[in-house]
Amino acid sequence: MQRRNRYIALATALTALVVGAGLIAGAATGARLVVLGKTKTNPKPTCGPKPNDSCFAVGSVTGFVTKLGDNRRPMVAPKRGKIVAWSVSMGSKPSNQVPEGSGDGAVSNLQFFQDLFGNERYGKNPVASLAILKPTGKNQGYVLRSKSPAVRLARAFGEETTFTLDKPLLIGPGQVAALTVHTWLPNIIPQPSGSSRYGWRASRKKGECGSNAARNTKTHSKVGSTRRYGCAFNDRFFYKAYFVPKAAGGGN
């Protein structure tokens, strides 16, 4: 296949309710709502809708943001509390047309990602969920403490979509809100080599971070299991988690 301008970052009950800010605030029950992963600017992830446009995506991975500008712990809970909602931003839907000038056997951007990351359980379109990770303190290990229901995102291209959780996810101080991509998502902006403004980690062992292993990568999906997050990338990785701290003297 002719070389194409794509990026495979392997750092990567289907129900949820799409809501507005008012309902999220209501879920906070009067406590101060903190948006983990919030930034002053929100550029659109890099995926164009035309056949020759660049489209960058992550696939079959659990990952979390490690740096957003000066914030080096953007997805870490500062204290005990709960995650009541989460959101993800995606670029445009990739084109289903083969780019002009492609050789024999070339496929469209959409088919490329669907063929590479689609699976029997979740299908070929974008599917994601939120995960709560507890660091082990050694070798970039993290225990999957809990996870949200997976959400189908085939209708969410080109926008930021927010989901409330019928059952909030408990999270402790120092624990991390991560994103699990069950198929693939165009939710990144790649950065130049050597750039250090953004960063995220993926659920793969150190030394197994290249794109050649794309078909063999797996998400961190079994609650209670430990995985090494040994692959670090410098892309801007888009998702947010809505955190409500535990009230003083209250219970979760």
Instruction: List, as own/partner pairs, every contact residues 75-78 make where C-beta atoms lie below 8 angstroms and the sequence separation is at least 24, other chains included.
Output: 75/36, 75/37, 75/176, 75/177, 75/178, 75/241, 76/36, 76/174, 76/175, 76/176, 77/36, 77/171, 77/172, 77/173, 77/174, 77/175, 77/176, 77/177, 77/243, 78/34, 78/173, 78/245
CB 74 within 8 A of CB 34: no
CA–CA distance, 81 with 247 (Å, rounded to integer): 8
Q: Which two tokens stand for residue 172?
A: 């402790």
Q: Which two tokens stand for residue 204?
A: 């793969």
* pLDDT above 70: percentage of residues in the chain: 85
Q: What is the pLDDT of residue 187?
A: 97
Q: What is the pLDDT of residue 15?
A: 32
CA–CA distance, 85 with 25 (Å, rounded to integer): 10
Average pLDDT, the chain: 87
Task: List phi, psi (to 5°) of 205.
Answer: -70, 150
Asked if residue 164 is part of any domain, the answer here is yes
Asked if residue 120 is part of any domain, the answer here is yes
Q: Assess whether pLDDT exceeds 50 at residue 205.
A: yes
Residue closest to 65 by CA, chosen among 144, 138, 28, 12:
12
Asked if residue 114 is part of any domain, the answer here is yes
Burial class (CB in 10 A: 0-12, 13-18, 19+), 52: middle
Q: What is the pLDDT of residue 201?
A: 96
| 210: number of Cβ within 10 Å | 11
Q: What is the pLDDT of residue 252?
A: 46
Domain limits at 61? 6-245
In Å, how far are 148, 152, 170 from 75, measured between CA atoms? 16, 23, 14
Asked if residue 158 is part of any domain, the answer here is yes
Q: Which two tokens stand for residue 212?
A: 């050649």
Asked if residue 1 is part of any domain, the answer here is no
pLDDT tens string 36-83 = 999 988 899 999 999 999 999 999 999 999 999 999 999 999 999 999
For residue 32, name the pLDDT band (cuts at 50, 70, 90).
confident
Q: Assess whether pLDDT exceeds 60 at residue 3.
A: no
Residue closest to 11 by CA, chosen among 241, 194, 240, 234:
234
Q: Assess whether pLDDT exceeds 60 at residue 21.
A: no
Return the higher-pLDDT residue of 3 and 200: 200
pLDDT tens string 95-144 = 999 998 888 889 999 999 999 999 999 999 999 999 999 999 999 999 99
How many domains would you assign to the chain? 1
Q: Assess whether pLDDT exceeds 80 at residue 10.
A: no
Q: What is the pLDDT of residue 243?
A: 98
Asked if residue 251 is part of any domain, the answer here is no
Q: What is the pLDDT of residue 19?
A: 43
CB 183 within 8 A of CB 123: yes
Q: Assess whether pLDDT exceeds 60 at residue 2.
A: no
For residue 27, name the pLDDT band (cuts at 50, 70, 90).
low
For residue 211, name the pLDDT band (cuts at 50, 70, 90).
confident
DSSP secondary structure letter of residue 47:
B
- Taking the mean position of all CA atoms in its chain, how far away is CA 159? 14
- What 3-state DSSP class applies to 213? helix
